[in-house]
Amino acid sequence: MRLRALAAAAAALGTLTACGGGSGGDEKQTVTMWVYPVIPDQAKHQAFWDEQTKAFEAANPNIDVKVEIYPWAKRDEALSTAIAGNKAPDVVYLIPDQLPKYARTLEPVDAYLADKADYRDNALTSVTIDGKVMGAPILMSANPLVCNQKAFDAAGVTEYPKTWDDVLALAPRFKAKDVDVTNYWADPAATLNQSFYPLLWQAGGDVFSADGKSAAFAGPEGVKALTFLKSLADGGFVEKDLLTGLPKFEQTRTAQNKVACTWQQLPADVESFWGKENIKVLPPLTGAKQAAYGTVGSLTLLKASDHKEAAGKWIGFATGAAPSKAYDLASGYFSPRRSTGSLYAADPVQSEVEKTLDLTSAGPLHEKARDVMGVLAPEIQAALIGKKTPEQALADAAKAADALLGG
């Protein structure tokens, strides 16, 4: 997408659009926001924000809003560089696992959200640090259990799994018909948010201790989750190549209709391979509890902004019920608000995903979350390929994680 340069915009408008400059008083203020391709069609995405800024500016004639759409790739590097160089935007789109990293440079947005009670509890929790709301939720996603009716028919299986025990019981029946009961991406480059963490939560465990000062995943809950996965790997019930590499999706057994169910792919990921009519969306699996991964997109306010009030006012408007609902529908995501009701009641697939939103977690809000994932993922892989026991793998990962946490 052709991006409008900040410097060019500043020159044309005679005002600074980024943090580190600007004017006060009654002068016209310019608020700059950085977002990313949430709506895949570039023209439609830009048109959406053009419509929203036009409506906002009509009601706030002393504020101009400039929306810059940047690529997903290297977005953290670009934002960190901009912040360090005092050239950051006033507002930026962030997801929960980014919030702790930038928390020191963000301004809480509580004061700009007039209707916090309208947000789903887990949506608000996912953007709250030390009791302060650091981002205004605008969208949600959910990774429930997604099953392939075609694979079930091929294996002659008519019942769907609800629990871990169900998965283990069905696995041999599927294997006898050359179908994997599920898939698991164990390469360390694959995020644990969508792979291991849902199982850890389902077992009743968590990544960090309550005070965030030590790893908690090596407890009995983590061992139970990894033992469940190892049972699937040792039994040949999951695709072996996914345990050691990252093949192109179209080359996987999931894409070849040889996988019964997955919690790591969304319906949109598999629709072109399975056919929408074969997608069966189910609630997340239950171990000790039901839980699934789902992210929350939010608009955040940079502390260095010279136009905090104007930027906060824009955030309140852009994440309001009507604009966020329009954004969610245009992008295929879900609403973090209760008042919107079902956005996809007429869609047999999306409506079922929507029902699982309250069961989702966006993962740990911890500054070292990504670093800890980096030491845990290879140990999980080591256990699944037989190099370590689940207990030893998790203990080794916890020792490395505690060192990162200063423990």
* DSSP line for 331-361: HT-B-SBSTT--S-TT-TTHHHHHTTGGGEE
Sign of the Cα torsion 308, 16, 103, 129 reads positive
| Cα distance between residue 126 and residue 333, in whole Å | 16
Is 24 inside any structural domain?
Answer: yes
Helical (H) or strand (E) element with 271 = helix 267-274
Is 355 inside any structural domain?
Answer: yes
Q: Do both 84 and 34 map to the same domain? A: yes
The range of the structural domain enclosing residue 109 comes to 6-141+295-361
Q: Do both 306 and 170 map to the same domain? A: no
| Cα distance between residue 318 and residue 242, in whole Å | 40
| Cα distance between residue 28 and residue 90, in whole Å | 15
Dump pLDDT digits (tens) for 299-311: 999 999 999 999 9
- Give the CATH number for residue 383: 3.40.190.10
Is 50 inside any structural domain?
Answer: yes
Q: Is 251 exposed, middle or buried (0-12, 13-18, 19+ CB in 10 A)?
A: exposed
Average pLDDT over the chain reads 93
Q: Do both 196 and 313 map to the same domain? A: no
**Confidence band, pLDDT 50/70/90 cuts, at residue 407:** low
Dump pLDDT digits (tens) for 295-351: 999 999 999 999 999 999 999 999 999 999 999 999 999 999 999 999 999 999 999
- Strand 145-148 and strand 279-282: the pairing is antiparallel
Q: Which alpha helices (DSSP H) does 126-163 contain, by range?
A: 149-155
208: DSSP letter: B
Dump pLDDT digits (tens) for 252-270: 999 999 999 999 999 999 9
Dump pLDDT digits (tens) for 179-223: 999 999 999 999 999 999 999 999 999 999 999 999 999 999 999
Beta strands in 249-295, from DSSP E residues, in sequence order: 261-262, 279-282, 292-293
Is 159 inside any structural domain?
Answer: yes
Dump pLDDT digits (tens) for 17-44: 334 433 344 688 999 999 999 999 999 9
Q: What is the pLDDT of residue 116?
A: 92
Q: Do both 356 and 378 map to the same domain? A: no
Q: Do both 243 and 338 map to the same domain? A: no
Beta strands in 70-141, from DSSP E residues, in sequence order: 91-94, 106-107, 128-129, 132-133, 136-140
- Residue located via tokens 């697939």: 349
| Cα distance between residue 381 and residue 241, in whole Å | 12
**Confidence band, pLDDT 50/70/90 cuts, at residue 231:** very high
Q: Do both 207 and 97 map to the same domain? A: no
Spatial neighbors of 10 by CB under 8 A, at least 6 apart, are 16, 17, 18, 30
The first and second tokens of residue 329, run together, are 């529908």
Beta strands in 185-342, from DSSP E residues, in sequence order: 261-262, 279-282, 292-293, 296-302
Spatial neighbors of 189 by CB under 8 A, at least 6 apart, are 246
Q: Do both 232 and 166 map to the same domain? A: yes
Is 173 inside any structural domain?
Answer: yes
Q: What does the pLDDT average to over 4-8? A: 33
Any bridge partners for residue 64, and if so which? 30
Q: Do both 121 and 185 map to the same domain? A: no
Q: Give yes or no for residue 12 having a pLDDT over 80.
A: no
Query: Half-sphere exposure (CA, 13 Å, Cβ side) for 235?
Result: 24
Q: Do both 85 and 226 map to the same domain? A: no
Is 152 inside any structural domain?
Answer: yes
Q: Give yes or no for residue 140 having a pLDDT over 90.
A: yes
Q: What is the pLDDT of residue 134?
A: 98
Is 1 inside any structural domain?
Answer: no
Q: What is the pLDDT of residue 11?
A: 33
Q: What percent of the chain has pLDDT over 90?
A: 92
Q: Give yes or no for residue 4 having a pLDDT over 80.
A: no
Is 399 inside any structural domain?
Answer: yes
Question: Cα 205 to the chain's mean position, in Å?
Answer: 19
Q: Do both 202 and 277 map to the same domain? A: yes
Q: Give yes or no for residue 118 having a pLDDT over 90.
A: yes
Q: What does the pLDDT average to over 159-173? A: 98
Q: What is the pLDDT of residue 26?
A: 65
Q: What percent of the chain has pLDDT over 70?
A: 93
Q: Which alpha helices (DSSP H) does 176-239 contain, by range?
A: 196-202, 220-234
Q: What is the pLDDT of residue 27?
A: 83
Q: Give yes or no for residue 15 having a pLDDT over 50.
A: no
Q: Do both 230 and 122 map to the same domain? A: no
Tell me how many degrees the CA angle 177-180-186 measures, rounded to the nearest 5: 160
| Cα distance between residue 72 and residue 216, in whole Å | 31
Q: What is the pLDDT of residue 2?
A: 32
The first and second tokens of residue 14, run together, are 């005679």
Q: Do both 381 and 398 map to the same domain? A: yes
**Confidence band, pLDDT 50/70/90 cuts, at residue 370:** very high
Domain count, the chain: 2
Q: What is the pLDDT of residue 146?
A: 98
